[in-house]
Amino acid sequence: QKEVEQNSGPLSVPEGAIASLNCTYSDRGSQSFFWYRQYSGKSPELIMFIYSNGDKEDGRFTAQLNKASQYVSLLIRDSQPSDSATYLCAVNEMDSGNTPLVFGKGTRLSVIA
Amino acid sequence: NAGVTQTPKFQVLKTGQSMTLQCAQDMNHNSMYWYRQDPGMGLRLIYYSASEGTTDKGEVPNGYNVSRLNKREFSLRLESAAPSQTSVYFCASRESSPYGYTFGSGTRLTVV
């Protein structure tokens, strides 16, 4: 059973701080990794994806991947109250024809003004 | 706007009633997925269609059926609704690996 684990939170950070969200996965063969943001009552929206070891930056967001440790993280710099949401980590196994992503249960982030 | 369209957005059913949730995408994506989301349970896969003409069971298929009508449309049917099927249902589509999903806005279903 492939598993993706996230701390459910809530993770509370002050406005302007760095929020660090973590995710571990069980399938060592996983190839690509995704971070989704979901506001309450809304559908998930893709923030970033990463498939190479190391860091990938997009604006205030940085995804970090360590395949040896089976660990992926999302850093949010200069956190804003509008970043308050649930963040879902999702993992794709080796490319085998559009097999479904496996999602974690999400971490709830609260940015305090 | 282009994307994934789900209908209806809200529905209340009585136990034993049937209904079909509709999903259509206009991005020419190959694969489509149905998930349900319940508090504390995360997103759980019901069924998926890796390509037109194929469907496969996910983690929680019991009580549901699907039809991949064409490349654009993927419907989810509840033949005899039960209170345990009260949930938020999301449809998603994807071009191919390694790209991510695009989600529809969801259907909030209550079975009484």
Q: In this predicted model, what pLDDT tens digit does every residue of A35-93 receive, in sequence order?
A: 999 999 999 999 999 988 999 999 999 999 999 999 999 999 999 999 999 999 999 87
Q: What is the mean pLDDT of residues B70-81?
A: 96
Report d(CA B109, CA B86) in Å as an integer. Answer: 5
The answer to whether residue A95 scores a pLDDT higher than 80 is no
- pLDDT interval class at B1 (50, 70, 90): low
Note the pLDDT of residue B40: 84
Which chain B residues in 20-39 lie under 8 Å from chain A, judged by CB atoms? Answer: 30-31, 33
Closest partner residue to B42 among A31, A45, A105, by Cβ?
Answer: A105
Note the pLDDT of residue A28: 87
The answer to whether residue B8 scores a pLDDT higher than 90 is yes
Note the pLDDT of residue A1: 66
Closest partner residue to A98 among B30, B43, B104, by Cβ?
Answer: B30
The residue to which tokens 């205030």 are assigned: A60
List of chain B residues whose C-beta atoms are within 8 Å of the C-beta of residue A31: 97-98
Higher pLDDT, A94 or B12: B12
Closest residue in A to B4 (Cα–Cα): A43
- pLDDT interval class at A97 (50, 70, 90): low
List of chain A residues whose C-beta atoms are within 8 Å of the C-beta of residue B48: 100
Note the pLDDT of residue B65: 97
Report d(CA A34, CA B103) in Å as an integer. Answer: 14
Half-sphere exposure in the Cβ direction for B55 (13 Å, CA): 19
Closest partner residue to A100 among B33, B41, B104, by Cβ?
Answer: B33
The answer to whether residue A96 scores a pLDDT higher than 80 is no
Q: Is B55 on the interface with A (CB under 8 A)?
A: no
**Rounded to a whole number, what is the distance in angstroms from the first to the last CA of chain A?**
40
- Please count the residue pairs, one from chain A and one from chain B, whose beta carbons lie less than 8 angstroms apart: 60
| DSSP β-bridge partners for residue B25 | B4
Report d(CA B85, CA B79) in Å as an integer. Answer: 11
- Interchain contact, B50 vs A99, CB within 8 Å: yes
